[in-house]
Amino acid sequence: MTLRACGLPCARHLNGGWLASPQLSLDAIAQQWASGLLQSHLFIIMGLHVQDIASAIAAASYWKLAGAVLGLLVIYQALSTTYNVFFHPLRHYPGPFLQGASKIPWFLHQTGGTLAFHTQGLHEKYGPVVRIAPHHLSFTDPQAFKDIYGHRIGAASDMPELPKATMFYHVSRRIPHNIISSTIEDHRGLRRSLAHGFSDKAMREQEPIIGRYVDLLMLRLHGLCGAAAEGTAAVVDLKNYYNWTTFDAIGDLVFGESFGCLEANKQHPWVDAILSAVHQGAFLIGLIYLGFGELVELSRLAAKPGRADLFEGVLRKRDELGLTFAHLAGNASLLVVAGSETTATLLSGATYLLVSNRHVLDKVTKEVRETFASAVDINLSSVGGLSYMLAVLNESFRCYPPVTSNLVRRVPLGGQTIAGNYVPVGTLVEVQQWSANHSTDNWADPWTFRPERFLDSEEEAAAKGNKFEALQPFSVGPRNCIGRK
């Protein structure tokens, strides 16, 4: 503020005679001070308003508060880092310094979609067990699958089942538990009720439903290829068609009504939303459950009883299990996502690997055409005899697993021995499939697409450096994928 600006209010008050008034007594001055009027005038004489002073004080308080909070955060981080590096029970496990010191590197890789690939690089450098966060261990040893996820029978019968780490499976309290996020006790009842829909008998009954959408997929692809041959089209996005087929088929099996993607030849809005949610990570997983209430109520719950599908067993036992409408909707939506997006991902990966390895494509094509005289002969039972095609699918699972990481468990009281390593209570543990599938400890030439490795016996494979037990795309134990068949 310039000298002239400061003098302006002073001159105006002097000109008004307020300060020079000889009649103003000390009592009057005291009274004006008490009322705040005098302070106001004094601040104005100084070129300042009371509001300006209040704002300045508030701003100063805000910055002091922000500084104090920042200071506390720095102190907390410093103390936390010191503890994690020098005193934490996991301090002796190998891993990069920053990931052992702070959760921030793990968070950045998780939200950036690079966690699985980054962790695989860490295993390559540090070995079969790596500390990927202060309280988090990753394993690649096949024995870790059994120790973390396996059944508690035989020699392991005295070991408690490791509970799921809630933060990875149940991100919102508003969302009811489903078969994935449920407790160990509740899971048993839910799984029993769903098991009927995944039995061999049920699969045979469901085959016409599945076949209908496979036939429609073939019809669409033949049309596109015919147009391409005539020069009217050039690109076929198989990823979209795989997604449409699997979502339509699973939607029909769960809700009794297709999403209509293949019929309309375009993506259903809900399919769009769920694919976006999957790609954006765990903090958007709540979108999976949005928009399903009305769809379930109007279609599946009103469907004919006894229909051969994946959800019929749950509907029959909803009262016995005490399932609310929200529980039904949550489990139904989960079945759709788990059964469709993962299948489409595998098919996309397998297609890429086949067209990138022409000799493998030629070999599997020859097997199919020599086995079947026509498409009518191809069914769920007969494809089980295609040994090379099944080897291609196993190798595709290994090279391009639909689920790469985050099947996380928490070590209970008493600690746990995992792959020969004692792990203390509270530790988060997992086997990341991308890391296990590309470990040189588990596979010969892990980055080479070689289906022939799965034609060997287990003994032959082990002699060549391939450990079949390291490939667990459906996980293992009591909470493995119910759709494994």
Whether pLDDT at 32 is above 70: no
Kindly indicate the confidence band of residue 257, based on its pLDDT and cuts at 50, 70 and 90. confident
* Distance, first Cα to last Cα, the chain: 80
Tokens of 49: 């308003």
Whether pLDDT at 399 is above 90: yes
Reported as a single tens digit per residue, the pLDDT across 272-320 is 877 776 665 544 433 333 344 444 443 444 444 555 555 565 666 666 6
pLDDT at 58: 61
Backbone angles phi and psi of 168, in degrees to 5: -90, -15
Whether pLDDT at 324 is above 80: no
pTM (predicted TM-score): 0.78
Residue 445: how many CB atoms within 10 A of its CB? 12
How many CA atoms within 13 Å lie on the side-chain side of 470? 27
pLDDT at 347: 96
Decide if 121 contacts 447 (C-beta within 8 A). no
Backbone angles phi and psi of 270, in degrees to 5: -70, -40
Could you tell me the domains of the chain? 3-69 (no CATH), 93-165+405-485 (no CATH), 171-356 (1.10.630.10)
pLDDT at 314: 60
Whether pLDDT at 26 is above 60: no
pLDDT at 205: 86
pLDDT at 13: 38
Decide if 330 contacts 175 (C-beta within 8 A). yes
> Helices (DSSP H) in 113-196: which residue ranges?
115-126, 142-149, 166-169, 184-195
pLDDT at 234: 64
pLDDT at 187: 78
Tokens of 224: 């596109």
pLDDT at 40: 45
Kindly indicate the confidence band of residue 109, based on its pLDDT and cuts at 50, 70 and 90. confident
Reported as a single tens digit per residue, the pLDDT across 454-481 is 999 999 999 999 999 999 999 999 888 8
| Stretch 174-180: mean pLDDT | 68
CA distance 155 to 113: 38
Cα torsion 86, 92, 97, 102: sign: negative
pLDDT at 308: 56
Angle at 167 between CA 162 and CA 171, to 5 degrees: 130
CA distance 341 to 483: 13
The verdict on whether residue 10 carries a ligand-binding annotation is no
pLDDT at 175: 63
Kindly indicate the confidence band of residue 321, based on its pLDDT and cuts at 50, 70 and 90. low
Largest CA distance in the chain: 120
Between 379 and 338, where is the model more confident? 379
Three-state SS at 8? helix
CA distance 141 to 119: 14
Decide if 175 contacts 324 (C-beta within 8 A). no
| Stretch 126-141: mean pLDDT | 97
Find which of 241-255, 264-278, 370-384, 439-453 is predicted with most confidence, using mean pLDDT: 439-453
Kindly indicate the confidence band of residue 363, based on its pLDDT and cuts at 50, 70 and 90. very high
Reported as a single tens digit per residue, the pLDDT across 52-69 is 655 655 666 777 777 778
Q: How far is CA 407 from CA 104, 139, 410, in A?
A: 20, 12, 10
Three-state SS at 19? coil
Whether pLDDT at 406 is above 50: yes
Reported as a single tens digit per residue, the pLDDT across 198-220 is 778 888 888 999 999 999 999 99
pLDDT at 171: 54
How many CA atoms within 13 Å lie on the side-chain side of 270? 18
pLDDT at 157: 67
Bin 416: left if φ > 0, else alpha if -120 < ψ < 50, else beta: beta
**Whose structure tokens read 């489409």?**
344
